[in-house]
Amino acid sequence: MINVGFVGINADISEAIYIHTISHYMKMKFLPIAIFAGLLFLKCPAYAQDKSAKLKALFDTLYLDQNFNGCVLVAEEGKPVFMKAYGYADQEKKRLLDTKSVFELASISKQFTAMAIMQLKEKGLLSYEDALQKFFPGLPYKGVTIRNLLTHTSGIPEFLGFGSKDIDVNKNNFNQDIIDRFQSKIAPAQFAPGTSTAYSNTNYLLLASIVEKVSGMTFSNYMKKNVFLPAGMDHTKVYSRLSTAEKISNYASDYVWDASENSYVKTDDQPAHMTNILDGVNGPYGISSNVEDLFKWDQALYTTKLVSAVTLKDAFLPTKLIGSKGVASLSPEMPLGFGWVIRTDSLESKDMFHTGGFGGYTSLIVRYTLEKRTIILLCNYSNMTGVYELMTAVTAVLDGEQPSIPKKTVRMKSIRVAAAELKGFEGTYFFENYPDYNMQVRAEGNHLFARLTNQGEFAIYPESNDTFFYTVVEAKIKFSEDKISKQKRLTLFQNGKEIQMSQKKK
């Protein structure tokens, strides 16, 4: 598969951007002296107060620099050290966030979906080795098991890249809509099941639908009865805000940076945004919660409230790949568990995390189980300090170090380009020597949108008459035309690389 360096511009932008850097940081973090010193400091109440004061100073600065809008909870030894809300839940109504404000969790939802599967396995209602085709005979992915879905080793393609040729973009799509598409229009598997790893939200969409088939309950009702309520999570639910009349009174709306308006706007108000057409999907995302409930979830994982210790252990064990000494992993140091990215450096120490991103929401939960430390971040504004940088700063405080204050985010502003000129950039641009990969560009009013194969469609904004930039990732696109052949061309700039594409000659 071609690696164009242009990955993760979808509901899981957080995973793509932060996965490597978090794994590198966590690998370096756990020196024996640092652990020993941290445990000593925990015995000193004055030091705990100092941590709280430093964390407050850190997030106060971030908020004043317009680098953070959301809720944070940091805990040690089962007790919150710092918990606070910053900024707006609804900027139009000037409604402020509080620590009970409810956010879309994005990919943090996966660990809850995995828990439901673990419960059904513990009850003997399914096996991790059950074939996907046992539940969905019409799907073409022979040999894929539930374990493959849990650990992203199925090879099933990502549905978040679906466009108008794949699904109805004029409605809100649900799990069955996506499954129907895979059954009617076969998308080839990326590799044989269990032989490699490719993060795909489709895996957890299928798992949620399996929960419904096996339990005979809706995914929402199952999760409420068997996961949320037993864990004491009274403010957590499966929730699709665009596909239900139900409204959550303390819900945090999400906002994205609109470079053409030089302001934040509600994600739902953006034309053709994927959150408008895929909001009805459950499993890979679609669970809403707050920092207080997520801390209850963290604490429940130290107990047998939800499943036995033996079953829970499965969630945190690496899965070996077939025909390889390796394990299911997104980086060498960070194997994949069931809904978690995990790290094991000894029999006594295990650390895990997961990030999430959907529309303007970004989220992070980190568990350092040896020290019983927890970091929870829920944010509802895009283009602010990334959750990895926040995690690094918070962990520095917990380690008794001086945190590095992230630089103030620069938000780009676009120029105006006439709608007629934008129309001239429309078309499908192909990679030379890779005909299966392309960039589709289209204009709608005064906006231009670009969609790379197997990824979502996103707005690109003009910084000049021929060069456009993304706001969801650091990348630019420059349009040009061959002077002789008049063939339209496109150059993608990202990560220090230039990738050439061109339209086919008519």
Q: Which residues belong to the active site?
A: 107
Helices within 367-428 (DSSP H only)? 387-398, 419-423
Residues 6+ apart with CB under 8 A from 456: 9, 10, 11, 160, 161, 274
Task: Please give, one letter per residue, the 3-state secondary structure of 348-407.
Answer: CCEEEEEEEEECCEEEEEEEECCCCEEEEEEECECCCCCHHHHHHHHHHHHCCCCCCCCC
> Is the CB of residue 370 less than 8 Å from the CB of residue 350?
yes
3-state secondary structure of 266: strand
**CA 313 – CA 295 distance, rounded (Å):** 20
Residue type, 488: K
Query: Could you tell me which of 477, 471, 474, 416 has the C-alpha nearest to residue 447?
Result: 416
> Is the CB of residue 80 less than 8 Å from the CB of residue 261?
no
CA 95 to chain centre: 26
Residue type, 315: A
Helices within 81-236 (DSSP H only)? 109-122, 132-135, 146-150, 175-184, 201-215, 219-223
DSSP 273: -
Distances (CA, A) of 349 to 27, 36, 316, 368: 12, 13, 11, 8
Query: Could you tell me which of 116, 68, 135 has the C-alpha nearest to residue 393?
Result: 68
DSSP 108: G
3-state secondary structure of 447: strand
Residues 6+ apart with CB under 8 A from 348: 370
> Is the CB of residue 238 less than 8 Å from the CB of residue 282?
yes
3-state secondary structure of 177: helix
**CA 445 – CA 435 distance, rounded (Å):** 29
Bridge partner residues of 90 (DSSP) = 95
> Is the CB of residue 119 less than 8 Å from the CB of residue 162?
no
